[in-house]
Amino acid sequence: MRMVTSLADLSVLLVEPSSMQAHLVQRMLEHQGVGQVVVADGGAAALAALQSAGPGTVVISSLYLPDMPGTELVGQMREVPGLAALPFILLSSETRPQVLDPVRQAGACSIVAKPFTEQQLSRALYAAADYLSPPQDVDLADIEGLRVLLVDDSRASRNHLRRLLEELGISRITEATHGREAVALLEATMVDLVITDYNMPEMDGRELTEYIRTQSWQAEVPVLMVTSEQNMGRLAAVERAGVSAICDKPFEAGSIRRLISDALVR
């Protein structure tokens, strides 16, 4: 992955059908010192431009495009090996969880609500730069031998988390698509860390956490929940169940690295 030391090292593909909006965002990016900005007016044009994109490219896209929604654009990117790891920032005034959740599950770096300030866009850019930079903020003993169980019913989300873990040097990763499958794996395999989603079929993240803390022979294993769940009552129930830490989707790469580090040293 390309070393990014400043916003000047970034190349941004801005996907925006409105020329006025594109000009406004492009001016903000220039004020932030972004090295290169290419504008595409739709999803197909963006995918074509990405064929020649370098590893330091960041995609900033509106949700509603003339040929496909931004959710489909990021979904198609995550299916292409050369594009799967590129940071994706969504710009949208949409607030409905059912519309935004596919973007969160696909591993967007940030969702920036319209209208936004240059400072809000800057924070999203730095989150993307952090994702592109080799990790320097985690000091874990024998990290190459760390055994992680990754539990999420979204393949796109699992792939995104797997890439981040592999950037940390973690290669011993086992995947499960829901809590019940994770329980079977925990009965037979020792792990050092469980990273789980909340909303899953068969057995959700709260039920999985409760099982681990009350019935598993690995009751002390750290459990990190990475979720788009916004219901405070449900999240409070997860905390009572014994989760070690909760991280929102979308998440900043540096944040989840620190949460992993904190969870493992408790």
Domain ranges of the chain: 7-132, 143-265
- The answer to whether 153 and 201 are in contact (CB under 8 A) is yes
Cα–Cα–Cα angle for 6, 10, 13, nearest 5°?
155
Q: Is 86 in contact with 15 (CB distance < 8 Å)?
A: no
CA distance 209 to 244: 10
228: pLDDT strictly greater than 90: no
**Residue 41 above 90 pLDDT?**
yes
Contact (CB, 8 A) for 194 and 151:
yes
Q: What is the DSSP letter of 140?
A: -
CB 14 within 8 A of CB 26: yes
**Measured distance CA(95)–CA(170) in Å, rounded:** 35
User: Which pLDDT value is given to residue 232?
Assistant: 77
pTM assigned to the model: 0.72
Run of H or E including 225: strand 223-227
User: What per-residue confidence (pLDDT) applies to 138?
Assistant: 52
Kindly report, residue by residue over 109-130, the tens digit of the pLDDT.
Answer: 888 998 899 999 998 998 888 8
168: DSSP letter: T
pLDDT band at 1 (very low <50, low <70, confident <90, very high): very low
Decide: helix, strand or coil at residue 185.
helix
Rounded to the nearest integer, the mean pLDDT of the chain is: 85
Tell me the CATH number of domain 143-265, given options 3.40.50.2300, 3.40.50.300, 1.20.140.10, 3.40.50.11890.
3.40.50.2300
pLDDT (0 to 100) of residue 142: 54
Do 7-132 and 143-265 fold alike per CATH?
Answer: yes
Q: Reply yes or no on whether the pLDDT at 265 is more than 70.
A: no
User: Which of 3.50.50.60, 3.30.360.10, 3.40.1670.10, 3.40.50.2300 is the CATH number of 7-132?
Assistant: 3.40.50.2300
Q: What 8-state DSSP symbol labels residue 105?
A: H
Residue 55: half-sphere exposure toward Cβ, Cα within 13 Å: 9
Tell me the C-alpha distance between 13 and 51, whole Å.
12
pLDDT band (50, 70, 90) for residue 156: confident
Tokens of 215: 């019935």
**Length, in residues, of the chain:** 266
